Structure 1
């Protein structure tokens, strides 16, 4: 399950970056909200899957509250989820 979590974290990170740095500027600079609508739902779904998997792995792998908190914090920081795999190897 940890490899699936790493894949989801990578995909969630990509969707977040696309939403923040491509779709949102297009929405506000060009007045075109279509990209936000198109990328928002997949990002939301990936985010929910990420958090659910993190909760499941917390109990399965007996993560400390610090590890779980860091994994959750990385999910809201731009580029943060790209470092989840490296953080978990520590």
Structure 2
């Protein structure tokens, strides 16, 4: 999942860079980009999706850093870290959804 979310983030950068480019092009472009993000449901879904993927990828990356440091590298530790990754990611995804909507 960590690699899949990394690929999705890479592809999702197309949307993020487009929105940034439009918003920095002119004051009218900024108004258009902010209006799209404020009123367009598809834009909100894309933003929430990208934030969700980023949240999971970040939490899974922290889990991998613990594994690299030989912390909890047992079967039970792996299960606990996987469960913690899912729980923390779900909380962050819900918070991202509240923030976007």
The TM tier, using the shorter chain, reads 0.3 to 0.5
The one of the two structures with greater contact order (alpha-carbon pairs below 8 A, sep at least 6) is 1
With structure 2 as the length reference, what TM-score do the two structures score? Answer: 0.42
Greater radius of gyration (CA): 2
TM-score normalised to structure 1 length = 0.45
